[in-house]
């Protein structure tokens, strides 16, 4: 019943089901209370469950500390809020609690991992410890008892957020023959020590005349360790980052970037938007033709760690120098030696003098001027938008290949 007892999974299942979550001052109460005075969270899906609001969860911060349920729930309530606004309301909540408790202020990467997990887009992360049930299932993988399969099935169903397993399906699992993997078939559930075989084989492994000497035990062990290191599961390739211009005069903002870069159609940006981060997908055939690559779009590097700059693949600019004030390279000439620059303007208008001064490191693109769709012939010119988008992605892909992006690896430095 890990899905019923784990606060993180309870919150994820409640979000998926759209069920109500109530902050109360008593486990038996249904009256909603402010988070500053609440002592419990009442979950109504899949069953009514009261969880202490200060209970530690499986989510660990970058400092290695377990994050409490109040901080997790508060971050989710503000998941559409920009990070500066989130930090402001978190500080206000801490002031209201006057030291009795403190909410954790999530960093940029922590928010990204947490929201991806709660929305059901990922199952595991370096910030989220596995459930105890997961470890038990892995330990008992080699047993032949059919009851283990029956117990593992509901836990798997709970992790996927689909509720308890169907009784008929459980009966079918109970009648299945457990096959096991190659390790359990060849070696059983306990590892076997074959070191004594080396002594028995030594008389038969004597060196013949002209034959190269046999490696020592230390050399053989080092080679075996190197082989194991090569066969380990490679680290997951990080998502590349695209920086948009925060200028109000920019044609491409957070509100219309997804429709343009992913859908191939330009729409004017909205003036009021609280979105601080976007995800878009694009298949880059010369880097990874087998699966789409996910890109992260942000307007500023305020929450960047130093290593995030190695993942920046493009910077959209309007030519205004203040945009680069907080960048790793505040000088545009130096910046565009490391990162591809992109300027998007209206067709027929000359790029600003500052953009032309940046040189060939900035890709200048133009889209047809926006006209009210109600006007006659307004839609006939929008077919060129996709042509512009393809040119932008072609430039980004070429720059990524040159910087060392591969199917399973990202560059260590740009």
Which of 105, 129, 153 marks a domain boundary?
129
312-340 confidence digits (pLDDT tens): 999 999 999 999 999 999 999 999 999 99
User: Confidence class of residue 153 from pLDDT cuts 50, 70 and 90?
Assistant: very low
The answer on 255 and 116 residing in a single domain is: no
The answer on 120 and 252 residing in a single domain is: no
Which of 79, 94, 129 marks a domain boundary?
129
Per cent of the chain over pLDDT 70 is 79
Which of 94, 129, 164 marks a domain boundary?
129
> Do β-strands 278-282 and 66-68 pair in parallel, antiparallel, or remain unpaired?
unpaired
Q: Is residue 218 part of a domain?
A: no
Q: Which domain holds residue 387?
A: 241-403
d(CA 398, CA 125): 30
3-state secondary structure the chain: CHHHHCHHHHHHHHHHHCCCEEEECCCCCCCCCCCCCCCEEEECCCCCEEEECCCEEEEECCCCCEEEHHHHHHHHHCCCCCHHHHHHHHHHHHHHHCCCCCCCCCCHHHHHHHHHHHCCCCCCECCECCCHHHHHHHHHHHCCCHHHHHHHHHHHHHHCCCCCCCHHHHHHHHCCCCCCCHHHHHHCCCCCCCCHHHHHHHHHHCCCCCCCCCCCHHHHHHHHHHHHHHHCCCCCCCCCEEECCCCCCCCCCCCCHHHHHCCCCCCCCCCCCCCCCEEEEECCCCCCCCCCEEEEEECCCCCCCHHHHHHEEEEECCCCHHHHCCCCCCCHHHHHHHCEEEEEEECCCCCCHHHHHHHHHEEEEEECCCCCCCCCCCCCCCCHHHHHHHHHHHHHHHHHHHHCCCCCCCCCCC
Residue from 58, 106, 97, 50 nearest 79 by CA: 106
Q: Is residue 193 part of a domain?
A: no
In this structure, are residues 364 and 381 in contact, taking their beta carbons and an 8 Å threshold? Answer: no
d(CA 414, CA 207): 50
The per-residue pLDDT for 148 is 40
**Rounded alpha-carbon distances, angstroms, from residue 262 to 239, 298, 383, 386:** 16, 15, 15, 10
Q: Is residue 143 part of a domain?
A: no
User: Confidence class of residue 143 from pLDDT cuts 50, 70 and 90?
Assistant: very low
Residue from 344, 255, 334 nearest 297 by CA: 255
Q: Is residue 159 part of a domain?
A: no
Q: Is residue 236 part of a domain?
A: no
Q: Is residue 39 part of a domain?
A: yes
> How many domains does one find in the chain?
2
Cis peptide before 99 (omega within 30 of 0): no
The per-residue pLDDT for 382 is 81
402-414 confidence digits (pLDDT tens): 999 998 888 988 8
Q: Is residue 110 part of a domain?
A: yes
The per-residue pLDDT for 135 is 52
- Packed helices 108-118 and 7-17: angle between N→C axes, nearest 10 degrees: 60
State the CATH number of the domain containing residue 274: 3.40.50.11990
The per-residue pLDDT for 408 is 87
The answer on 248 and 124 residing in a single domain is: no
Most confident of 189-193, 220-224, 252-256: 252-256
Q: Is residue 249 part of a domain?
A: yes
Q: What are phi and psi of 402, to 5 degrees?
A: -65, -30
User: Confidence class of residue 197 from pLDDT cuts 50, 70 and 90?
Assistant: confident
């Amino acid at each position: 019943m890990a899905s019923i007892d784990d606060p993180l999974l309870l919150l994820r299942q409640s979000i998926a089901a759209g069920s109500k979550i109530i902050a109360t001052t008593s486990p038996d109460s249904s009256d909603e209370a402010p988070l500053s005075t609440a002592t419990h969270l009442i979950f109504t899906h899949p069953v009514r469950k009261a969880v202490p609001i200060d209970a530690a969860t499986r989510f660990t911060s970058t400092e290695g500390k377990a994050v409490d349920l109040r901080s997790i729930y508060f971050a989710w309530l503000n998941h559409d809020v920009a990070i500066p606004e989130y930090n402001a309301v978190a500080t206000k909540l801490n002031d209201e609690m006057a030291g009795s408790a403190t909410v954790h202020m999530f960093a940029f990467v922590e928010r990204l991992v947490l929201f991806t997990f709660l929305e059901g887009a990922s199952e595991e992360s370096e910030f989220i410890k596995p459930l105890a049930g997961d470890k038990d299932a892995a330990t008992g993988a080699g047993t032949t008892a059919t009851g283990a399969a029956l117990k593992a099935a509901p836990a798997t169903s709970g992790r996927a957020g689909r509720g308890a397993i169907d009784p008929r399906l459980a009966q079918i699992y109970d009648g299945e023959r457990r096959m096991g993997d190659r390790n359990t078939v060849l070696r059983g559930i306990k590892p076997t020590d074959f070191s004594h075989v080396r002594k028995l084989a030594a008389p038969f492994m004597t060196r013949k005349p002209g034959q190269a000497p046999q490696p020592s035990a230390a050399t053989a062990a080092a080679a075996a360790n190197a082989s194991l290191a090569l066969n380990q599961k490679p680290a997951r390739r990080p998502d590349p980052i695209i920086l948009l211009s925060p200028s109000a005069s920019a044609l491409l903002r957070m509100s219309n970037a997804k429709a343009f870069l992913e859908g191939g159609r330009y729409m004017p940006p909205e003036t009021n938007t609280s979105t601080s981060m976007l995800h878009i997908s694009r298949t880059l055939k010369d880097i990874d033709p087998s699966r789409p690559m996910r890109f992260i779009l942000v307007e500023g590097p305020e929450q960047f760690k130093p290593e995030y700059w190695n993942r920046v693949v493009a910077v959209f600019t309007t030519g205004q120098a203040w945009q680069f004030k907080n960048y790793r390279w505040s000088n545009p000439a130096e910046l565009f030696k490391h990162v591809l620059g992109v300027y998007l303007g209206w067709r027929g208008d000359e790029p600003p003098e500052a953009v032309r001064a940046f040189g060939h490191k900035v890709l200048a693109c133009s889209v047809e001027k926006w006209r009210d769709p109600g006007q006659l012939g307004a839609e006939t010119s929008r077919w060129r938008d996709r042509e512009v988008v393809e040119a932008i992605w072609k430039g980004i892909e070429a720059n990524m290949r040159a910087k060392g992006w591969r199917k399973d690896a990202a560059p260590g430095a740009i």
